[in-house]
Every structure is written in C-alpha cells, then in structure tokens.
Amino acid sequence: MSATQEEDKKPGDLRGTHIHLKVNFQVLDGYEVFFRMKRRTQLKKLMDAVCERVCVDFNSMAFLFHGRRLLGGQTPDELDMEDGDEIDARLDQSGGGITNGLYLSCF
C-alpha cells in the first residue's frame, strides 16, 4: 500500500478520510469537474469552487445528489456519499419573467 493510500485510511474505517466526487453540468453539455475532498468537509467548499470555475454566482446554481438539493452545510459523510458519486449542477430556476433581458410572451 502506498503512503497516500495509508493516509486516507483510518483504523476501523475502510472508506478513508477522502472522497472523489464528480460534478456534472446540465447547462454545459458534457462538462464535468472532478474533486477530491475530505469526507467531513462541508459541501459549500466544493460548491464555491465549482461556481468560481464556471464564473457563475453561487446563488444562481442548484446542486443535486440523487435528485435532492444539497445544502452547503452538509458533508459527504452525512449524505453517505461513496467514492465516485456524482453531483448534478444546474442553473437554479425560481420564478419566471425575464430571460436574457427579454420578456417572454405567449403570442
């Protein structure tokens, strides 16, 4: 076993302290980002990094895991995430009205 694998393992814990997660973007076709983070780190850190990478405001994004919206204060351990799990990221759609500065009409 290599030194990095030994660092990721705790006595009595077969899952290790780190997890690899994949973030899929529904808006950007085929765009994926891979992250390695500690299982007890809040997901807000991952969410902020994703938003910064795609130049989108945090409040404009929704992050989903198994169809449920993620909260920044949650951790991978709390959600029983496993190595290689995927998180879906999409633009948050709340309400209606203006799109790209234009009003949508039904006629």
Per-residue pLDDT tens for 67-85? Answer: 999 999 999 999 999 999 9
Count of domains for the chain: 1
Mark out the alpha helices in the chain (DSSP H runs): 3-8, 43-53
User: The pTM is what?
Assistant: 0.70
Low-confidence spans in the chain with pLDDT less than 50: 1-2, 6, 8-12, 102-107
Domain of 72: which CATH number?
3.10.20.90
- Owning domain of residue 33: 3-103
Determine the pLDDT at residue 15: 63
Closest CA to 16 of 24, 5, 25: 5
